Amino acid sequence: MTRLLHISDLHFGAVDDRLIQPLLDLAASQRPDAVIVSGDLTQRARPSQFSAARAYLARFSGPVLVVPGNHDMPLYNLPVRLAAPLARYRKAFGAGVEPSLTLPDAVIQGVNTSDPFVWKAGRLRRSSVARLTAAFAGAPAEAHRIAVMHHAPVPAADGTPADIAEPAKALADLAATGAQVVLSGHTHMPHAGFAETAAGVLFLQVGTAISTRLKTDANDVAVIDLAPGLVTRTSWIARGGGVFEPSFLLRFRQGSAGWQQSAD
Ligand SMILES: [Fe+2]
């Protein structure tokens, strides 16, 4: 079995300091094989915010896979945003904005969906689709094929439409890459679901891990256990800056018709 800790939307610059240690404690107790961070490391893409985010992620043991979100590009400094949108992000997290990670039960490929021209909404680029296709084509048959992208091409938990360009095309493109699980953030609401046109793809979103920018009544992260043909996702929530506690558990089995939520 492989265990992931999925966190997102940390927003350094708007962090609830009370949650800094509880999230580290959760990671220490759950002992994930990797920590997956699906974007929005910072609030305003300032160098000091990236430094704080990098220093914080260095406190987790094991591999940490990070992709950028829209907040990791400057919002107001248009010349910088258009000329070098992720320069500050790259300085903190390395030149590659689409990293990959291979674990015993999973091949994980990061995708950069940030779009400097529109800032808030995302975009699934053709180059990212090609990278996903190549990563998944070479994966062992039993391995879960997992894409990590800040913006998901499915509606949020409250029905807000997907905040990505051409969502129907993004869905079809993702399904064609062989992706089986897509981990995202952006909406600040936890959600798990499917799309009719991409039955083989399971979409798992988490809210904001440690920021004050809440859209629900709690911060949340997810512990995801991967076994062949089975994904078990436990949502962990922290209310009022307290410790993270297990909330709901969802189990998904992979069948010939795609993913099915399972009661046992
Ligand atoms: Fe965010």
pLDDT value of residue 179? 97
The region that residue 71 occupies, defined by phi over 0 for left and psi between -120 and 50 for alpha, beta otherwise, is alpha
pLDDT value of residue 257? 83
229 C-alpha to ligand 1 centroid (Å): 30
Q: Per-residue pLDDT tens for 88-145?
A: 999 999 999 999 999 999 999 999 999 999 999 999 999 999 999 999 998 999 999 9
For residue 82, the one-letter residue type is: L
264 C-alpha to ligand 1 centroid (Å): 33
Q: Per-residue pLDDT tens for 3-17?
A: 999 999 999 999 999
81 C-alpha to ligand 1 centroid (Å): 17
Q: Is residue 256 very low, low, confident or very high in pLDDT (cuts 50, 70, 90)?
A: confident
102 C-alpha to ligand 1 centroid (Å): 26
Q: Evaluate if residue 264 carries a pLDDT over 80.
A: no
209 C-alpha to ligand 1 centroid (Å): 10
- Select from 122, 15, 128 the least CA-distant residue to 70: 122
70 C-alpha to ligand 1 centroid (Å): 8
pLDDT value of residue 258? 86
pLDDT value of residue 243? 97
Counting residues of the chain whose pLDDT is more than 70, the rounded percentage is 100
Q: Is residue 80 very low, low, confident or very high in pLDDT (cuts 50, 70, 90)?
A: confident
Those residues whose C-beta lies under 8 Å from the C-beta of residue 211, and which sit 6 or more positions away, are 9, 10, 11, 14, 15, 16, 43, 219
**Full residue range of the structural domain in which residue 232 is found:** 2-262
Q: How many domains does the chain have?
A: 1
pLDDT value of residue 90? 98
263 C-alpha to ligand 1 centroid (Å): 31
Q: Evaluate if residue 77 carries a pLDDT over 80.
A: yes
| Residue 165 burial (CB count, 10 A) | 18
241 C-alpha to ligand 1 centroid (Å): 18
Q: Is residue 37 very low, low, confident or very high in pLDDT (cuts 50, 70, 90)?
A: very high
Q: Evaluate if residue 44 carries a pLDDT over 80.
A: yes
Q: Is residue 196 very low, low, confident or very high in pLDDT (cuts 50, 70, 90)?
A: confident
- 8 A C-beta contact, residue 94 and residue 66: no
Q: Evaluate if residue 263 carries a pLDDT over 90.
A: no
41 C-alpha to ligand 1 centroid (Å): 8
Does pTM top 0.85 for this prediction? yes
pLDDT value of residue 194? 86
5 C-alpha to ligand 1 centroid (Å): 18
The predicted model gives 226-243 an average pLDDT of: 95
CATH code at position 56:
3.60.21.10
Give 236's strand partners: 221, 246
137 C-alpha to ligand 1 centroid (Å): 31
